[in-house]
Amino acid sequence: MAETEELVILPSAPKKAVTFDDEENVDATNTQEAAADEGDGLLDLKKKKKKSSAAVGSDGLLDLKKKKKKKVEAKAEDESTEDKKADGDAPSEEVAATSSEVQFDADELANGTGVWNSAATSDLTYPLLLSRFFTLLKSQHPDLTGDGRRNYKIPPPQVMREGNKKSIFANISDICKRMKRSDEHVTAFLFAELGTSGSVDGAKRLVIRGKFQQKQLENVLRRYILEYVTCRTCKSPDTDLKKGENRLFFVTCNSCGSRRSVAAIKTGFQATVGKRRRQKV
Amino acid sequence: MSIENLKVNDPFADDVGDTQPKNYVHIRIQQRNGRKTLTTVQGLSKDFSPKALLKAFKKEYACNGTVIIDPDMGEVIQLQGDHRTKVMDFLTDKDKSKMGKYALQKDHIKIHGF
Ligand SMILES: [Zn+2]
């Protein structure tokens, strides 16, 4: 858990934050939320955020928090207008301003008092109840919410073009550090998947032969994380990759202790591209 | 807000691991110059005639291609352009005009690339 938190801390990360969730999960979340969000604009907002998570600007993490807060606020029925005004430009201020309120509200929610009291007569809508359920679940059984994974954020790959034929993957070492994998392993995977080759330059950036866009590298990285980082049992990204006995590689989970073997990276068939003329001569 | 862990999952299901080489068919992409790409299909079982498949692919996707005999990887089908998903669909299609009863399972095919 502690490790997960470390991964989440983003301020040092270059601007955008990407949640490298696997697609199916995102889909599931989306549909789930879609089902739940009748008439609730706030949930909708959240959904939108998730879909475009690759593209959202500035403060991914803060953003998410803000939205969560806002949802809690919505329960507080009124008083939200003032906050909405503030929310565009000064998120931290807003958080500070409302935190006491939210705290109070959360207490009520957790203890089942106030509107939540079984004797209370006010109507509780489905979204309200749902949000209470998840708030309680989150506070009491954080490991059940799948939060550990959703919080697993790594900065998006920064990709630049060098000349016409090469791409530079600038923050590879940063990303590798976050995943706790060696640059070499990730590089090998990238090259094998992309069917290309490359080198590392002086600033530890990866120079890849061929034109690649950020989105494309992100896809490959996502697959890497699925295969070599996340724990299959508890989905935690806090794992170690070690060489076990008989030359096999194992991913050992630091939160649940499960261990699984992973395939070695194989390049497979590579067609000769563009070199043929030179070979003939 | 998904409750991932409440899904039923067999803790030993993946214990066999990926290390036991399933005989995957690998579909890869490679960049050539400019916007041009190559699709390669590697690891097809010996039951299939790569030449016949190639012929079908060429007709279906209106592209050129060739069968390369690689000393390590065996016979590899190489097509011009990115036809990865289409090749995947073809190989798993039980239709008589496609693979018929020889159709492959989706989890026996691995698509690589971006
Ligand atoms: Zn685990």
The residue to which tokens 């097509």 are assigned: B79
Number of alpha helices (DSSP H) and beta strands (DSSP E) in chain A: 12, 9
Give the best-scoring range by mean pLDDT among A73-87, A99-113, A185-199, A237-251.
A185-199
Cβ-defined contact of A248 to B19 (cutoff 8 Å): yes
Cβ-defined contact of B73 to A269 (cutoff 8 Å): yes
Q: Does A219 touch chain B (CB under 8 A)?
A: yes
Decide the pairing of beta strands A166-169 and A206-209.
antiparallel
Q: Does B44 touch chain A (CB under 8 A)?
A: no
Mind listing the pLDDT tens digit for each residue in A23-82? Answer: 444 444 444 444 444 433 333 433 444 444 433 333 333 333 444 444 444 444 444 444
For residue A167, pLDDT beyond 80: yes
State the pLDDT confidence band at A145, using cuts at 50, 70 and 90.
low
Whether residue B12 is contained in a domain is answered as: no
Quote the ligand 1 centre to A259 CA distance (angstroms): 8
Closest-CA residue in chain B for A191? B113
Q: Does A116 touch chain B (CB under 8 A)?
A: no
Whether residue B57 is contained in a domain is answered as: yes
Phi, psi at residue A169, to the nearest 5°? -100, 100
The CATH number of whichever domain residue B88 belongs to comes to 3.30.780.10
Quote the ligand 1 centre to B39 CA distance (angstroms): 36
Residues of A in contact with B5 (CB under 8 A): 143-144, 146, 234-235
Decide the pairing of beta strands A239-243 and A259-262.
unpaired
How many whole angstroms separate alpha carbon A119 and alpha carbon A117? Answer: 5
- From the list A33, A194, A248, the residue facing B1 with the nearest CB is A33
Whether residue B15 is contained in a domain is answered as: no
Contacts across the A-B interface (CB distance below 8 Å): 97
pLDDT score for A187: 94
Residues of B in contact with A137 (CB under 8 A): 3
Domain map of chain A by residue range?
Answer: 159-262
For A195, left (φ over 0), alpha (ψ -120 to 50), or beta? left
Quote the ligand 1 centre to A252 CA distance (angstroms): 8
ipTM summary value: 0.77
Closest CA to A155 of A172, A168, A140, A141: A172
Decide the pairing of beta strands B25-31 and B109-111.
parallel
What part of B 13-32 touches A (C-beta under 8 Å)?
14-15, 17-19, 21, 26, 28-32
Range of B88's domain? 25-112
Q: Does A161 touch chain B (CB under 8 A)?
A: no
Whether residue B69 is contained in a domain is answered as: yes
Residues of B in contact with A226 (CB under 8 A): none
Residues of A in contact with B21 (CB under 8 A): 263
Give me the number of domains chain B comprises.
1
Phi, psi at residue A51, to the nearest 5°? -60, -40
Overall fold of domain A159-262? Defensin A-like (3.30.30)
Whether residue B4 is contained in a domain is answered as: no
Cβ-defined contact of A32 to B2 (cutoff 8 Å): yes
Instruction: Find the Cα–Cα–Cα–Cα dihedral B52, B58, B61, B66, rounded to 10°.
Output: 100
For A226, the token pair is 């699925």
Q: Does B114 touch chain A (CB under 8 A)?
A: yes
Residues of A in contact with B28 (CB under 8 A): 195, 268-269
Closest-CA residue in chain A for B71? A269
Whether residue B108 is contained in a domain is answered as: yes
How many whole angstroms separate alpha carbon A205 and alpha carbon A159? Answer: 10
Each residue's pLDDT expressed in tens, for chain B with a length of 114 residues: 555 556 555 555 554 444 445 678 899 999 888 789 999 999 888 888 889 899 999 999 999 999 998 888 889 999 999 999 999 999 898 888 888 888 888 888 889 988
Q: Does B110 touch chain A (CB under 8 A)?
A: no
Whether residue B3 is contained in a domain is answered as: no
- From the list A29, A262, A271, the residue facing B78 with the nearest CB is A271
pLDDT score for A198: 92
